[in-house]
């Protein structure tokens, strides 16, 4: 299968409310947890012992250093340590590096071993409230493998924000840009609804909208947003705009867009997709389904200006 076929497959999965996950472990301990990441955010898995690690002075403790791979200098993040799993020198020697792409931010995650690739419907992904009780929680949702084992999906945006903050939203810088924007009345008076399951992304959006003096309401997944909208008598009068992530438990962002744009009561509400899955096919699919804009999540300083211009239109 070619790279382009993979991209098409990613878009078709999201469109069908499905996701393909790479399952891996961060320890050889048989009782250790299974973890997963969207397979389309991964590039390859390489053996750690084959790549020289250059340490960076005064860097974050979880940033082990960088490796050179295919002409790129790639930072290596100690994922086991982030999960309170301490690998010995010998274990590190037999570990692997999972090379990932978060909207053009290429990083390597130290893992012990890749297990397999699985396909799941988003309604098979669960996000119990217990994962969200603490601000420093690292698990976003989970699913079950065929043998009943629990598989955890981590908040990789939190890891990036912790270790490589320059890759994330610059809320302070964005605040200055907001002063130059003339807000349409509907945006000033209405409420923006947001479906986003990452607490890290939520915090950035809360601060951004607070600075812009725009009312917003957050939902931890697309289904909760849809249920809320269905409870309103006249949603187009109350809702100024909607922002949705693509990858969410229970209901993907593409399903959210499809349902809202096919509903006469909500079809005219501007919808912006905010995702780190920024392939051209995903952007094209969002447009085909009727989304009015697409924002790269790690460059979310475009959120307020784009919303303002969409609502003016």
CATH number, position 145: 2.40.50.180
Task: Quote the number of domains for the chain.
Answer: 2
Residue 10 tokens, joined = 């990613």
Domain final residue pick, 143, 166, 189: 166
For the chain, the average pLDDT equals 83
What global pTM score does this model have? Answer: 0.73
Task: Give yes or no: residues 200 and 295 share one domain.
Answer: yes
* pLDDT at residue 85 tops 60: yes
Do 63 and 211 belong to one domain? no
Same domain as 175, residue 234: yes
Share of the chain above pLDDT 90, in %: 41
Please return the burial class of 85, using the count of CB atoms within 10 Å of its CB with bins 0-12, 13-18 and 19+: middle
Looking at residue 4, its pLDDT comes to 34
pLDDT tens-digit series, residues 164-213: 876 655 555 555 555 666 777 888 888 999 999 888 788 888 888 888 88
pLDDT digits (tens, 9 = 90+) for 270-310: 998 887 765 666 777 788 888 888 887 665 556 667 767 76
Q: Are residues 173 and 162 part of one domain?
A: no
Domain containing residue 278: 169-312
Number of residues that this document lists for the chain: 313
158 & 173 share domain: no
**Residues 82 and 140 occupy one common structural domain:** yes
pLDDT at residue 10 tops 60: no
Other C-beta atoms closer than 10 Å to the C-beta of 312 total: 12
How do residues 41-84 score in pLDDT, each as one tens digit? 898 999 999 999 999 888 899 999 999 998 999 999 999 999 99
Question: What sign does the dihedral 305-289-126-162 (CA atoms) show?
Answer: negative
């Amino acid at each position: 299968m070619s790279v382009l076929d993979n991209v098409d497959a990613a878009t078709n999965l999201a469109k069908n409310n499905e996701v393909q996950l790479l399952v891996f472990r961060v320890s050889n301990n048989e009782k250790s947890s299974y973890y997963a990441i969207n397979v389309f955010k991964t590039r390859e898995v390489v053996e750690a012992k084959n790549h020289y690690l250059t340490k960076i002075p005064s860097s974050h403790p979880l940033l082990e250093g960088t490796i050179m791979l295919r002409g790129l200098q790639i930072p290596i993040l100690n994922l086991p340590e982030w999960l309170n799993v301490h690998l010995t020198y010998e274990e590190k020697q037999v570990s692997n590096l999972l090379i990932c792409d978060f909207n053009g931010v290429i990083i390597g995650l130290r893992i012990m071993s890749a297990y397999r690739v699985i396909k799941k419907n988003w309604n098979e992904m669960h996000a119990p409230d217990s994962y969200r009780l603490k601000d420093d929680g690292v698990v976003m949702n989970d699913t079950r493998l065929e043998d009943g084992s629990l598989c955890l999906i981590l908040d990789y945006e939190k890891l990036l924000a912790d270790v490589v903050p320059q890759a994330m939203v610059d809320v302070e810088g964005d605040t200055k840009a907001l002063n130059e924007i003339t807000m349409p009345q509907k945006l000033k008076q209405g409420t923006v609804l947001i479906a986003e399951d990452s607490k890290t992304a939520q915090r950035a959006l809360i601060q951004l909208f607070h600075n812009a003096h725009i009312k917003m309401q957050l939902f931890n997944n697309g289904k909760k947003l849809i249920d809320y909208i269905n409870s309103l008598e006249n949603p187009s009068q109350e809702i100024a705009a909607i922002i949705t992530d693509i990858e969410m438990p229970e209901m993907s962002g593409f399903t959210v867009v499809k349902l809202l744009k096919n509903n006469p009561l909500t079809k005219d509400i501007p919808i912006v997709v905010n995702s780190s899955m920024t392939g051209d096919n995903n952007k094209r699919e969002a447009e085909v389904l009727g989304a009015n804009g697409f924002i790269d999540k790690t460059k979310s300083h475009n959120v307020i200006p784009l919303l303002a211009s969409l609502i003016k239109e």
